[in-house]
Structure 1
Amino acid sequence: MSLMMDAAASTGRSGRTRRAERAARRAELSGSGPTREEVAPARFPGARAKFALFGEVLLTGLLVTLAGILVITLPAALAAGIRHLRRFIAAEDSRVGLFWTDVARAVLPGLAVGAGAVVLALILLLDIDVARSGFLPGGAVIEVVGWAGLGALALALLIAAGAWTPEAGWRGALRAVPGLVRADLPGALYVVATAVFVGVVTWALPPLFIPAIGCAALAVVAIPERRRGR
């Protein structure tokens, strides 16, 4: 009887130990708990839970859509969404309230950026439409230039939104765009491809803008990190 009781107690202790180890392992992977000394901490602990990251991308897309519904507020919404995803991936405080705090800081100075982007986009779209009409000589070339201009505009907006901070402001973010593009030309092409993806899926089915813009925010966070991780 004593042997059986000892065996049962040993089994109970073993089960508790395994449960504690599993809990510690989950905390280590998520970034919410300490890591073992022999294991290097994850670079992006918030990205280890793939389904949670997917849900956060969808939430970010919804938040950016709501904050950018006036179109001219879209740069501020993107900047806040990108900062929100950075905090989540780094396993930092990523409450939704912080997103709206960033929107409040970015929106008024960002109105000029948004209005300028809208005007420029309308001019380029008009050029493309006129070029397609056949009334202008060299219409095909003008159309290509128009689409290239839209791609450059989208690239500048996404990179500036990623570079925006409350300290640097929009002026500092816009000034940083050329240097960031020169430093990573392949990454700039990836960002342009992301903008094309958002445009295509939105054209195909407008409600898809919500997840697409969330993916764009994630791309702005992830693309520069691919070089740092090498």
Structure 2
Amino acid sequence: MRRFALFGECLTAGLLVLVAALPVVTLLPALAAGCAHIKAHVDGETTSLRSFFERVRAALPGGWQLSLAVIGCFAVLAVDVVLLRSRVAGGGFVAAVCGVAAVGLAVVVLRAAAAWSPDARWADLARSAPRRAVADFGGSLLLVMSFGVLLVVTWQLPPLLLPMLGCVLMAAVAVDRRSGRVGQELSRSTSVDG
């Protein structure tokens, strides 16, 4: 029964994130609030609609500028892929590189959103997320696999976009918590060895 409740929260989080991200400039605050919503459910805290939108509001300072930058980067990469694949010799290779860059950007964005808390600053999260993505390469690969599952499932059944988006948010939260535990274990083992 608890697993079904978590799936229900993933569905709710996916829907709420899509609604909150509609203005585009709220993309990162919506993702951060979605991750915080999943964390709150797992930790047994409040997961009401009101608390979700309070988290979005708390994440807005600094988040809307970064959201515009992220959307701009994705737009440039998408335009590059479309133009290069059809009009430039050897453009397929460059388009593939742009696709990999887009996936890398998505991983960094999700890592920043999963690490967000009301006392965190987006500028600090934006600087630390790429380092954490590289340092915990296994966790980053898990996020890439979650994107793959999202694409395959929603390609086959588009109505499953909502729960699958929530599952990607849950994967981001799990990777964030996993990387925190791995870092603590590594620091403990080095202090014991030293």
Residue 189 of structure 1 corresponds to 141
Larger helix fraction of residues: 2
Residues 110-165 of structure 1 deviation map (CA, whole Å, 9 limit, x = unaligned) = 111111111111111111112221x3132121111110111011111101111112
**% identity of equivalent residues:** 36
User: Could you list the runs of 5+ residues in structure 2 that have no partner in the other structure?
Assistant: 186-194
Q: Aligned-pair distance for 1:203?
A: 4.8
CA RMSD of aligned residues (A): 2.1
Which amino acid is 2:70 matched to? Answer: A
Structure 2 distance, partners of 1:53, 1:92, is 13
The 3-state SS of whatever aligns with 1:168 is coil
Runs of 4+ aligned structure 1 residues displaced above 2 Å come to 92-96, 195-209, 223-230
TM-score by length of 1: 0.72
Please tell me whether the aligned partners of residues 155 and 195 of structure 1 are also in contact (alpha carbons under 8 angstroms). no
For residues 97 and 224 of structure 1, the distance between their equivalents in structure 2, rounded to whole angstroms, comes to 25
Which residue is equivalent to 1:167?
Answer: 119
Distance 2:78 2:59 in 1: 27
- CA distance, structure 2, for counterparts of residue 179 and residue 56 of structure 1: 30
Preserved contact between residue 17 and residue 34 of structure 2 (Cα < 8 Å): yes
How far apart, in 2, do the equivalents of 1:206 and 1:171 lie? 34
Which of 85-94 and 197-206 deviates more? 197-206
Q: Is 1:208 the counterpart of 2:166 in the alignment? A: no
- Corresponding residue for 2:79? 126
Letter aligned with residue 62 of structure 2:
P
Q: Do the aligned partners of 1:164 and 1:172 also contact (CA within 8 Å) in 2?
A: no
- The aligned counterpart of 1:71 is 24
| Distance in structure 1 (CA, Å) of the matches to 2:77 and 2:3 | 39
Secondary structure of 1:167's partner?
coil
Correspondence for 1:150 among 102, 118, 121: 102
1:92 maps to 45
User: Closer, same or farther in 2 for the Cα pair 1:207/1:223, shift >3 Å?
Assistant: same
If the length of structure 2 is used for normalisation, what is the TM-score? 0.84
Q: Which has the higher contact order (CA 8 A, sep 6+)?
A: 2
Q: Pick closer, same or farther for the CA change 1:202–1:74 going to 2, 3 Å.
A: farther
Cα distance in structure 2, aligned partners of 1:187 and 1:214: 17
How far off its partner does 1:101 sit? 0.8
**Secondary structure of the structure 2 residue equivalent to 1:190:** helix
Q: Partners of 2:84 and 2:97 in 1: how far apart?
A: 10
Between structure 1 and structure 2, the one with the greater Rg is 1
Match of 1:136 in 2: 88
